[in-house]
Amino acid sequence: MSTYRIVSLPGDGIGTEVITEGRRAADAAIAAVGRSIDWVEYDWSCETYRTTGRMMPEDGIDRVRDANAIYLGAVGSPGVPDHISLWGMLIPLRRELDLYANVRPVRLMPGVPSPLANRSPEEVDFVVVRENVEGEYSAIGGRMYDGTEHEAAYQQAVFTRRGCDRIMDYAFALAADRRAAGKGGKVTSATKSNGIVHTMPFWDERFEAARGRHPNAETDQFHIDILCARFVTNPDWFDVVVGSNLFGDILSDLGPAVSGSIGIAPSANIDPTGRNPSMFEPVHGSAPDIAGRGVANPIAAVWTASMMLDHLGEAEAAALIEGAMETVLAMPEGRTRDLGGRASTRSCGDAVVRAIEAA
Ligand code: NAD
Ligand code: IPM
Ligand code: MN
């Protein structure tokens, strides 16, 4: 029997509530295929920061490096500035492990109410592939002339040839896999190349070069502004959408909003070379406005756990979770408040585990 060693980092707010349910789903599914998970949990969070002055220990990255995967809830807590919680934990994990491919699927699930009228699940099924370690989220920036009438803030976006090429190749490979599985197989580039944003003509050049490396792929591109509009008016046009760090961030909250709720959106931060453990986390944050009330939707964390098992080669266990999740979402009593239901985090998680065990 094989056992996976997975580092669990519940973090702050609803992170701790949803990770509990995601772990139960993962344990039930992996047990059903005769294997197990050895969870190693660290309480790194804003609470740790308040008591120790650090979000995670100095050797935090080394402590997670030899795990099979990392499963993270969310970080962020009122009273601790976001730049401290994010630069102190989430961003170093993504960067120092070089998890450059952020994969964020969007699907309209059967029975889930969507703000889009008359759309069926087959019409909303795409993946945002977000560049995860450079671009607009560069570390080069700061403030000048503080406290004077000239005070200013600046940030230098950095797009490298290597960074663009590898995320685009990842998107093309994913599209080829999806085509082989009977899905669209098109790659859409999110750009803004009408000469105003200097980095985007470079992004387009690299996309053109990627098209050359993948001559059989179908492609298109949209400026980010109209692309946001098309996610709402024509979600059926998309299959794999590749975007920079900031554009991908925005698109990956917009997609789930039109397909139901941010409360169901999963994400994988992948190191495609396999040298480092990949990290799996819901798209949403710590949601301080509902934290501690037991009402958060755990499905994003549950679906994220399914992506994690799939990444570990446990396709059967991953499919068990995905099937259970669809069963629960299709039942009105399975849905939490963000989807118009009344289920609690725990009762939704219970229903997922029951559906896995019944499969
Ligand atoms: P958020 O995603 O935490 O919340 C946005 C809105 O969506 C809130 O109204 C919240 O109640 C709702 N929501 C989010 N997840 C939900 C769920 N599972 N079920 C039901 N409703 C849900 O984003 P925010 O408010 O912009 O950020 C709050 C904090 O989280 C900030 O400190 C931010 O920096 C942090 N954050 C962390 C991560 C991360 O660690 N990966 C991601 C995003 C935001
Ligand atoms: C996400 C979050 C993070 C991001 C924040 C919290 C830094 O919004 O994972 O989407 O922008 O990457
Ligand atoms: Mn985001």
- Assess whether the C-beta atom of 86 lies below 6 angstroms from ligand 2: yes
- Assess whether the C-beta atom of 99 lies below 6 angstroms from ligand 2: no
Q: What is the pLDDT of residue 1?
A: 55
Pocket test for ligand 2, best of 45, 86, 87 (most atoms within 8 A of CB): 86
Diameter of the chain measured on Cα atoms: 66
Structural domain boundaries in the chain: 1-107+265-359, 114-259
Burial classification of residue 238, based on how many CB atoms lie within 10 Å of its CB (0-12 exposed, 13-18 middle, 19 or more buried)? buried
Beta strands 240-243 and 152-155 are: unpaired
CB atoms inside a 10 Å sphere around CB 354 = 14
Q: What is the pLDDT of residue 194?
A: 81
> Which residues line the pocket of ligand 1, CB cutoff 6 A?
14, 18, 74-76, 82, 86, 90, 262-263, 281, 284-290, 296-297, 300, 338
Q: Whose CA is nearest to atom 1 of ligand 2?
A: 283
Beta bridge partners of 70: 7, 279
Q: What is the pLDDT of residue 118?
A: 87
* Res. 346: pLDDT tops 60: yes
Distance between CA atoms of residues 231 and 116, nearest Å = 10
Classify domain 114-259 by CATH number.
3.40.718.10
Predicted TM-score (pTM) of the model is 0.97
Report CA(249)–ligand 3 centroid distance (Å). Answer: 5
* Helix/strand/coil for 182: coil
Phi/psi at 347 (5° precision): -70, -35
Cβ atoms of residues 245 and 132 within 8 Å: yes
Closest listed ligand to the CA of 250: 3
Q: What is the pLDDT of residue 298?
A: 98
Pocket test for ligand 2, best of 70, 249, 267 (most atoms within 8 A of CB): 249
Average pLDDT, integer, range 182-188 = 94
Q: What is the pLDDT of residue 45?
A: 98
Average pLDDT score, the chain: 97
Report CA(75)–ligand 1 centroid distance (Å). Answer: 9
Closest CA to 137 of 85, 92, 194: 92
Phi/psi at 293 (5° precision): -105, -5
Beta bridge partners of 240: 127, 187
Average pLDDT, integer, range 322-332 = 97
- Assess whether the C-beta atom of 250 lies below 6 angstroms from ligand 2: no
Q: Whose CA is nearest to atom 12 of ligand 2?
A: 249
Q: What is the pLDDT of residues 140-165, one digit of tens each?
A: 999 999 999 999 999 999 999 999 99
Q: Whose CA is nearest to atom 42 of ligand 1?
A: 285
Closest listed ligand to the CA of 295: 1
Ligand 2 atom having least distance to the Cα of 90: 7
Q: What is the pLDDT of residues 259-275, one digit of tens each?
A: 999 999 999 999 999 99
* ipTM computed for the complex: 0.99
Q: Where are the beta strands (DSSP E) in 178-243?
A: 186-191, 218-223, 240-243
Q: What is the pLDDT of residues 56-97, one digit of tens each?
A: 999 999 999 999 999 999 999 999 999 999 999 999 999 999
Q: Regarding the domain delimited by 1-107+265-359, which CATH topology (the fold level of the hierarchy) does it fall under?
A: Isopropylmalate Dehydrogenase (3.40.718)
Cβ atoms of residues 157 and 203 within 8 Å: no
152: its two tokens: 């200013």
Pocket test for ligand 1, best of 83, 286, 346 (most atoms within 8 A of CB): 286
Distance between CA atoms of residues 288 and 167, nearest Å = 32
Q: What is the pLDDT of residues 205-246, one digit of tens each?
A: 999 999 999 999 999 999 999 999 999 999 999 999 999 999
Ligand 2 atom having least distance to the Cα of 267: 9
Distance between CA atoms of residues 125 and 143, nearest Å = 41
Report CA(41)–ligand 2 centroid distance (Å). Answer: 22
